[in-house]
Amino acid sequence: MNFTSDSASIVAGILAGTRRAAARAISLIEDDDPAADTVVRELFPKTGGAYSVGFTGPPGAGKSTLVDDMVQIVRSQDQRVGVIAVDPNSPFSGGAILGDRIRMMRHTVDPDVFIRSMGSRGHLGGLALASSRAVYVLDAYGMDYVFLETVGVGQSELEVAELADTTVVVLMPGLGDSIQTIKAGIMEIADIFVVNKADHPAVHKTIADIKELLRIDGRKRAWTPAIVKCVATTEDGVDELWNAIGKHRAYLESSGELELRRARRLERQILDVATARLRARVVEASAHDASFKEALGNVVARRLDPFSAADLLVAQSREHRDVPA
Amino acid sequence: MNFTSDSASIVAGILAGTRRAAARAISLIEDDDPAADTVVRELFPKTGGAYSVGFTGPPGAGKSTLVDDMVQIVRSQDQRVGVIAVDPNSPFSGGAILGDRIRMMRHTVDPDVFIRSMGSRGHLGGLALASSRAVYVLDAYGMDYVFLETVGVGQSELEVAELADTTVVVLMPGLGDSIQTIKAGIMEIADIFVVNKADHPAVHKTIADIKELLRIDGRKRAWTPAIVKCVATTEDGVDELWNAIGKHRAYLESSGELELRRARRLERQILDVATARLRARVVEASAHDASFKEALGNVVARRLDPFSAADLLVAQSREHRDVPA
């Protein structure tokens, strides 16, 4: 059966809770298939029910194990959870491909847990846009929670983390000069800090470092980021982390901040989609346009600069219907 | 004296070899100052003389020390060199701000070495675009070589590495499961692999890993990436690295590949600039347009999906001169 040609049946399948339909939708998103647009458009009105939590931090901090623990807590409360593990450096996508994913196997037979890895394949509009679409799919599929896990702390990982209602930054003691690894961008997005592997002697130093960074950061904050110690492998402190997530959620909901955050996120998303569409149009124009090839030749020969060539291209992509540039 | 208002004097200063003018131009680029456009446009016809080398790889692999060694070799040959150290995670920019930069101090009094760090501040068109503009400035300033150094291996670091004529990927032995840290994207851009800290016993394993990755990668390559062992701190192997860079350059020049690479890079750059311009227009339209605010309200209320809202915005930004969308 070819689902690709039948976005209506995928949408119906997802709303009826068919796992395979959800998986198929995410594959369409990963393939930049035009049908993905249709599917997500149709699903969008059914979204908004899931609460999303992002987990980010340097490689090796134990994010996967921690997410695994969180999945177990959610399941013990009889709620449903989707996990999207994002690796911007990997061309691979699909089921349990990330090495760490293997530890998640204990959940893969549970029909109320949906786990998916996403790599950097395709994604014309960027990995953040593709991930946000996958979140919509899992939201409409009826998940109570969607966890977004990233492998590192690069630019695209931060963008993915920004898709979450609550962002958890996972650190570990003794990470070289640990203060250096807590990059600037991360301080701005952290709602909760976890110091994982807290049985390490340097844990106090790491916590002191985080507090110091929060102090010198100096912004006025309505919410002071919580700092939680964990040992994910033994599940020490994981209940405290879950409570901290619940407290942050309660704060967001009672203060009206959740609505504001989500509105800002949607606005950014609209701009990202619009930019991606415009870029596609420009690429299209450049591929088929003889005058662009000529302009490129002039740039290569240093007779024209790339900025003026870009201006020509923008003018062309905008006005090629009737008025010549 | 206010240089900002006087892009002509900056351009004249750079072409006359005034260091302060070059520094000022890069600051304008970092500030997304419109004058930066004018400056780079004017300088562009004078570029193409510098050969650029990118150094990328995981943090801690010793890139800064290695670049420092390369600077010394270039200077011993009485040639001039610019270094742009790019940290996409740092909001800081300017002189010697990256910690590692301090080791470069021995070169900072040398008028024929120009060192500059660039952080993530601003850069509407992305860090790669900002870095490429800085390369043009140093090229026009008369540098024989421009070295681009990144702090890690994230998406934006790979984009920066792609600005270089020759890309050197710096690895080190014993980096956990080292094979895992050699991310997919890196294999595609590496012209030369350096295994730094090669006095470590695991060096043979790392070299075997690289060879294995090249083998399973399986693409037909006209140039087989060189693998060089170094100990940057003692300068062991750094001459071999410099020779490998020279060999790769000779290959690119004799095969015509250098011209092709540079033309492709310019084409990508034109598309990036055009996209940035279009994005700016969309953001502008969204900020001032009452109908966009209404559309956003409808998206938040789930009455409209973000993709349809983006389409409206694109239509508007394109047609707002006369025909209403």
Same domain, B82 and B219: yes
In this structure, is residue B195 part of a structural domain?
yes
- Which of A33, A86, A271, A303 best tests the B interface by mutation, with the highest count of B CBs <10 A? A271
Mean pLDDT of the residues in chain B = 83
Same domain, A233 and A311: no
Given this model, what pLDDT does residue B191 score? 94
* Entry pTM: 0.73
Same domain, B250 and B116: yes
Which residue from A103, A109, A98, A118 is spatially nearest to A70, judged by alpha carbons? A103
Rounded Cα–Cα distance for residues A232 and A199 (Å): 10
> Is the pLDDT higher at B317 or at B32?
B32
The arrangement of strands across the sheet holding A145-150 comes to: A113-118, A81-86, A145-150, A51-56, A166-171, A192-195, A226-229
Residue B216 φ/ψ, nearest 5 degrees: -70, -25
ipTM: 0.79
Same domain, A200 and A63: yes
pLDDT digits (tens, 9 = 90+) for B207-231: 888 888 788 766 778 899 999 999 9
Q: In this complex, do B154 and A89 lie within 8 Å of one another by their Cβ atoms?
A: yes
The arrangement of strands across the sheet holding B166-171 comes to: B113-118, B81-86, B145-150, B51-56, B166-171, B192-195, B226-229
Same domain, A230 and A182: yes
Question: In angstroms, what separates the C-alpha of B83 from chain A's closest C-alpha?
Answer: 22
Question: In angstroms, what separates the C-alpha of A293 from chain B's closest C-alpha?
Answer: 9
Same domain, A107 and A179: yes
In this structure, is residue B21 part of a structural domain?
no
pLDDT digits (tens, 9 = 90+) for A98-151: 444 444 556 666 778 998 888 765 555 577 888 999 999 999 999 999 999 987
- Collapse the DSSP code of B305 into the 3-class scheme (helix H, G, I; strand E, B; otherwise coil) and give the result: coil
Given this model, what pLDDT does residue B93 score? 45
pLDDT digits (tens, 9 = 90+) for A203-227: 888 888 888 878 876 677 889 999 9
Angle of helix B257-288 relative to helix B127-140, nearest 10 degrees, comes to 130
pLDDT digits (tens, 9 = 90+) for B37-57: 899 999 999 999 999 999 988
CATH number at residue A223: 3.40.50.300
- Which of A269, A270, A277, A281 best tests the B interface by mutation, with the highest count of B CBs <10 A? A270
Last residue of some domain: B255, B279, B306? B255
Task: Average the pLDDT over A170-196 and give the result.
Answer: 73
- Tokens (6 digits) for B292: 């966009």
In single-letter form, the type of residue at position B231 comes to V
Question: In angstroms, what separates the C-alpha of A71 from chain B's closest C-alpha?
Answer: 26
Closest residue on chain A to B183 (Cα): A89
Which residue from B22, B79, B16 is spatially nearest to B49, judged by alpha carbons? B79
Question: In angstroms, what separates the C-alpha of B312 from chain A's closest C-alpha?
Answer: 9
Same domain, A78 and A212: yes
**Do B114 and B71 touch, CB atoms closer than 8 A?**
no
In this structure, is residue A251 part of a structural domain?
yes
Same domain, B299 and B201: no
**Do B10 and B39 touch, CB atoms closer than 8 A?**
yes
Q: Which chain B residues have a beta carbon less than 8 Å from that of A277? A: 310-311, 314
**Do B156 and B89 touch, CB atoms closer than 8 A?**
no
Is the pLDDT at B197 greater than 80, yes or no?
yes
Same domain, A113 and A233: yes
Name the pairing type of β-strands B81-86 and B113-118: parallel
The C-alpha torsion from A250 through A252 and A254 to A260, rounded to 10°, is -160
In this structure, is residue B18 part of a structural domain?
no
In this structure, is residue A293 part of a structural domain?
yes
Question: In angstroms, what separates the C-alpha of B196 from chain A's closest C-alpha?
Answer: 19
First to last CA, chain A: 48
Q: In this complex, do A277 and B314 lie within 8 Å of one another by their Cβ atoms?
A: yes
In this structure, is residue B147 part of a structural domain?
yes
Alpha carbon A227 to chain centroid distance?
Answer: 22
Residue A134 φ/ψ, nearest 5 degrees: -65, -35
In this structure, is residue A21 part of a structural domain?
no
Last residue of some domain: B226, B255, B284? B255
pLDDT digits (tens, 9 = 90+) for B135-154: 999 999 999 999 999 876 66
Q: Which of A99, A269, A286 sits opposite B306 (nearest CB)?
A: A269
Given this model, what pLDDT does residue B238 score? 95
- Tokens (6 digits) for A122: 């395709």
Closest residue on chain B to A309 (Cα): B270
Q: Which chain B residues have a beta carbon less than 8 Å from that of A120? A: 155, 184-185
Q: In this complex, do B274 and A266 lie within 8 Å of one another by their Cβ atoms?
A: no
Q: Which of A153, A282, A306 sits opposite B89 (nearest CB)?
A: A153
Q: Which chain B residues have a beta carbon less than 8 Å from that of A152? A: 154
Segments forming the whole domain that contains residue A92 = 46-255
Which residue from A119, A60, A49 is spatially nearest to A84, judged by alpha carbons? A119
First to last CA, chain B: 48
- Collapse the DSSP code of A120 into the 3-class scheme (helix H, G, I; strand E, B; otherwise coil) and give the result: coil
Closest residue on chain B to A91 (Cα): B184
What percent of chain A lies above the pLDDT cut of 70? 81
**Do A40 and A33 touch, CB atoms closer than 8 A?**
no
DSSP E strands, A5-155: 51-56, 81-86, 113-118, 145-150
Rounded Cα–Cα distance for residues B271 and A310 (Å): 7
Given this model, what pLDDT does residue A144 score? 97
Count structural domains, chain B.
2
Same domain, B82 and B126: yes
- Per the rule left: phi > 0, alpha: psi between -120 and 50, beta: everything else, A197 is left
Rounded Cα–Cα distance for residues B151 and A155 (Å): 12
Is the pLDDT at A240 greater than 60, yes or no?
yes
- Which of B216, B271, B318 best tests the A interface by mutation, with the highest count of A CBs <10 A? B271
Same domain, B218 and B277: no
Q: Which chain B residues have a beta carbon less than 8 Å from that of A91? A: 184-185
Q: Which chain B residues have a beta carbon less than 8 Å from that of A41? A: 305, 307-308
Rounded Cα–Cα distance for residues A304 and B266 (Å): 11
In this structure, is residue A34 part of a structural domain?
no
* C-alpha distances in Å from residue B149, one per residue of A168, B117, B182, B260: 30, 9, 17, 23
Q: In this complex, do B275 and A277 lie within 8 Å of one another by their Cβ atoms?
A: no
Same domain, B209 and B112: yes
